[in-house]
Amino acid sequence: MLDKRLLEQLFRQNYSEMIHLARVLLGNDEEAEDVVQDIFLRVAEADMPPRKEGYLLTAVRNASLNRIRQMQLHEKVKSLLPVGEEADPQPARATEERTEDISDFVDEHLEEPHRRIFHLRFDDDLTIAEIARRLDLNPNTTYKYLVQSIQQIRKHFKC
């Protein structure tokens, strides 16, 4: 834990620059104060004070950019998923039915290794490289088989 006097000195010397930078980046006083407060909490919990000049401002910049990404992601999710009384379960059911139709098509119409590669990629969420290692295939071949599978699905479902 950092010495209280040293932390207080860091705060007095750097707070105004830190809060100004956070406000400029975030455009919101409350968010800026939260970011700066979080940084000082991390510094207080550390055993040693920051040694490099500009560390605190860099930390503010990075934390502010992370906060912006979080807010953007939150807004994207919020716009994609209606909440409350406006929520309509029909699109979710339609998507679920479409997913089941695709899975049935894959199981009934695709040959091996296309079928296995498709399921490993989309059911097990493995990367091309992971699938290639698991099936002892070249990654380019694995990718080619996956593309062929997707093309067959698109052709069948007219996507």
60 near 36, Cβ under 8 Å? yes
Domains, the chain, in order of start with CATH, read 4-80 (1.10.1740), 87-157 (1.10.10.10)
Using a pLDDT cut of 70, give the percent of the chain over it. Answer: 90
pLDDT at 63 (0 to 100)? 92
Distance CA 104, CA 89 (A): 23
pLDDT digits (tens, 9 = 90+) for 91-117: 767 778 888 888 899 999 999 999 999
pLDDT at 74 (0 to 100)? 77
Q: How confident is the model at residue 88 (pLDDT cuts 50, 70, 90)?
A: low
CA distances to 26, 27, 104 from 68, in Å: 7, 10, 41
pLDDT at 81 (0 to 100)? 59
Average per-residue pLDDT in the chain?
A: 85
Would you state the torsion angle of the CA atoms of residues 80, 83, 87, 92, taken in this order, to the nearest 10 degrees?
50
pLDDT digits (tens, 9 = 90+) for 54-72: 889 999 999 999 888 888 8
Which residues make Cβ contacts (< 8 Å) with residue 10, sequence separation at least 6? 40, 43, 49, 50, 56
pTM for the full model? 0.48
Q: How confident is the model at residue 45 (pLDDT cuts 50, 70, 90)?
A: confident
Distance CA 150, CA 159 (A): 10
pLDDT at 20 (0 to 100)? 94
The DSSP line for 42-105 is: HHHHSSS---STTHHHHHHHHHHHHHHHHHHHHHHHHHHS--GGG--HHHHHHHHHHHHHHHHH
The DSSP line for 115-128 is: HHHHHHHHTS---H
